[in-house]
C-alpha cells in the first residue's frame, strides 16, 4: 500500500490528502493548530463538485518526527512564509525512497528543497483550487481543483506518474508536465497582481480590481512574463490575455492573501512578489510596477507588526 504523509494539513493539504486516501493510499497527516479536533474526528470534506466525505488519516501527528514507517510521498502543503524552514520541517520523515512533493505557492522555491534532499526525488506541485478551512477539521471545496505536477529540475518520473494517476482516479484532474518550473511562473502571472492588490485596496474582490485597473493589472502580468522569459521559462504570448479573460469569467473572488490578511495570518508576500522581484534584479529586468506593489506590501506588513 502506498504510504503518504501530508505536512501542513490546512485546506489544501487535507483536501488533496483525502483524495489520495479515497484512491486507496494510506494517508497520515501532521497538523498543528487543529490537532485535537482532527485526532478525534478526522476531516470532513464538503466539495461542491465531488460531494461530501470523511477522511480518517492513518496517523494524526503533531510533529513530523512522530511519523511511524517510511513514506512513499511527503506532501508539503504549508504556506511559504518567512521563518518557516520547509526542509527542516519535513526532514525527520524523509526516508531513502521518499518522494518529496510540495504543493505550495510562489516562484523560485524549488532550489531550497533540491539542495536539502539531493538524493530524493523532488516533485513540484501547483494547485488551481478554491477551498477553505471553515473550522477545525472542516474543509469546504468551492470550485476548481486541478493539480499540475512535475519533477525537479524537470521531467516526469514513474513515481510522479503514479501520484498523478491516483489523483485522477479520485476525481480531480492532475497533469504531469515536463516543465513544472514554467508552470510556477505561469501561476505567478495571476497571483502577482491579484493577491497584493486585494490586500492593498483594503479588501476588493478580483473582478472589482480588474474592472477598475485592468491596465495596471496587465502591467504587472507583463512584468512577470518578462522575468519568466529572462529566467529561461518563456510563457506563451497570449498568457496575459488569457489570464485577463479568465478573471472576467470567474465569479468575484477573495484571494488567499486577502483571507490571510483578514484573519491576521502571515501573507505569502515574499514568495509571490519578493522572489519574483529578486529574480528580476538578478537577470537585469526592470519591473517597476511589481517593485512598487512589493514595497507597499512591505510597508503594510510593517504597519501590521507595529504596536498601534
Residue 219 CB, nearest approach to a second copy (Å)? 7
Count of residues near a second copy by CB under 8 A: 28
Q: Is-contact 88 56, C-beta < 8 A? A: no
CA distances from 159 to 27, 73, 97, 112, 166 (A): 16, 9, 10, 21, 11
Instruction: Confirm or reject binding of residue 227 to a second copy (CB under 8 A).
Output: no
Instruction: Confirm or reject binding of residue 299 to a second copy (CB under 8 A).
Output: yes
Residue 184 CB, nearest approach to a second copy (Å)? 24
d(CA 305, CA 302): 5
Residue 193 CB, nearest approach to a second copy (Å)? 10
Instruction: Confirm or reject binding of residue 289 to a second copy (CB under 8 A).
Output: yes
Q: Is the dihedral of CA 146, 294, 206, 81 positive or negative?
A: positive
Residue 260 CB, nearest approach to a second copy (Å)? 15
**Given the complex with a second copy, which of 133 and 289 has the nearer CB atom?**
289
Residue 209 CB, nearest approach to a second copy (Å)? 6
CA distances from 160 to 76, 105, 124, 154, 234 (A): 15, 19, 10, 11, 24
Residue 132 CB, nearest approach to a second copy (Å)? 18
Q: Is the dihedral of CA 83, 80, 45, 264 positive or negative?
A: positive
Site string for a second copy, 178-197 (x = CB under 8 A): -------------------x
- Closest CA relative to residue 92, chosen from 70, 125, 122: 70
Instruction: Confirm or reject binding of residue 79 to a second copy (CB under 8 A).
Output: no
ω before 120 within 30° of 0 (cis)?
no
Instruction: Confirm or reject binding of residue 158 to a second copy (CB under 8 A).
Output: no
| Segment holding 126, helix H or strand E | strand 122-135
Instruction: Confirm or reject binding of residue 288 to a second copy (CB under 8 A).
Output: yes
SS3 per-residue string spanning 264-301? CCCCCHHHHHHHHHHHHHHHCCCCHHHHHHHHHHHHHH
Residue 127 CB, nearest approach to a second copy (Å)? 27
**Given the complex with a second copy, which of 47 and 275 has the nearer CB atom?**
275
Within 10 A of 23 (CB to CB), how many other CB atoms are there?
A: 17
d(CA 250, CA 260): 21
Site string for a second copy, 194-223 (x = CB under 8 A): ---x--xxxxx---xx--xx-xx--x----
Q: Which three cell numbers stand for residue 208?
A: 472589482
Instruction: Confirm or reject binding of residue 114 to a second copy (CB under 8 A).
Output: no
Q: Which three cell numbers stand for residue 14?
A: 487535507
**Given the complex with a second copy, which of 23 and 296 has the nearer CB atom?**
296
Residue 202 CB, nearest approach to a second copy (Å)? 4
Stretch that binds a second copy, among 126-134, 236-244, 271-279, 284-292 (CB under 8 A): 284-292
Q: Enumerate binding residues for a second copy (CB under 8 A).
A: 197, 200-204, 208-209, 212-213, 215-216, 219, 288-289, 291-293, 295-296, 298-300, 302-304, 306, 308
Amino acid at each position: 500500500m502506498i504510504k503518504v504523509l501530508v505536512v501542513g494539513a490546512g485546506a489544501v493539504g487535507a483536501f488533496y490528502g483525502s483524495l489520495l486516501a479515497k484512491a486507496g493510499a494510506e494517508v497520515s497527516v501532521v497538523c498543528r493548530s487543529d490537532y485535537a479536533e482532527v485526532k478525534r474526528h478526522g476531516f470532513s470534506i464538503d466539495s461542491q463538485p465531488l460531494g461530501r466525505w470523511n477522511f480518517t488519516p492513518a496517523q494524526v501527528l503533531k510533529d513530523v518526527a512522530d511519523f511511524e514507517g517510511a513514506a512513499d510521498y511527503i506532501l508539503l502543503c504549508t504556506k511559504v512564509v518567512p521563518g518557516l524552514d520547509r526542509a527542516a520541517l519535513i526532514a525527520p520523515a524523509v526516508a531513502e525512497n521518499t518522494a518529496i512533493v510540495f504543493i505550495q505557492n510562489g516562484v523560485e522555491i524549488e532550489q531550497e528543497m533540491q539542495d536539502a534532499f539531493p538524493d530524493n526525488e523532488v516533485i513540484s506541485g501547483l494547485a488551481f483550487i478554491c477551498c477553505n478551512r471553515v473550522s477545525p477539521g472542516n474543509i469546504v471545496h468551492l470550485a476548481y481543483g486541478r493539480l499540475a505536477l512535475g519533477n525537479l529540475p524537470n521531467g516526469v518520473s514513474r513515481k510522479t506518474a503514479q501520484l498523478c494517476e491516483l489523483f485522477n482516479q479520485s476525481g480531480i484532474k492532475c497533469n504531469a508536465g515536463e516543465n513544472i518550473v514554467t508552470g510556477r511562473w505561469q501561476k505567478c502571472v495571476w497571483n502577482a497582481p491579484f493577491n497584493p492588490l486585494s490586500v492593498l485596496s483594503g479588501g476588493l474582490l478580483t473582478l472589482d480590481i480588474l474592472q477598475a485597473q485592468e491596465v495596471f493589472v496587465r502591467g504587472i502580468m507583463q512584468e512577470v512574463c518578462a522575468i519568466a522569459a529572462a529566467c529561461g521559462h518563456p510563457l506563451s504570448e497570449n498568457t496575459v490575455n488569457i489570464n485577463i479573460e479568465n478573471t472576467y469569467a470567474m465569479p468575484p473572488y477573495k484571494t488567499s492573501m486577502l483571507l490571510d490578511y483578514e484573519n491576521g495570518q502571515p501573507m505569502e508576500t515574499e514568495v509571490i512578489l519578493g522572489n519574483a522581484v529578486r529574480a528580476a534584479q538578478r537577470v537585469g529586468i526592470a519591473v517597476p510596477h511589481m517593485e512598487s506593489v512589493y514595497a507597499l506590501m512591505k510597508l503594510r506588513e510593517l504597519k501590521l507588526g507595529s504596536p498601534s
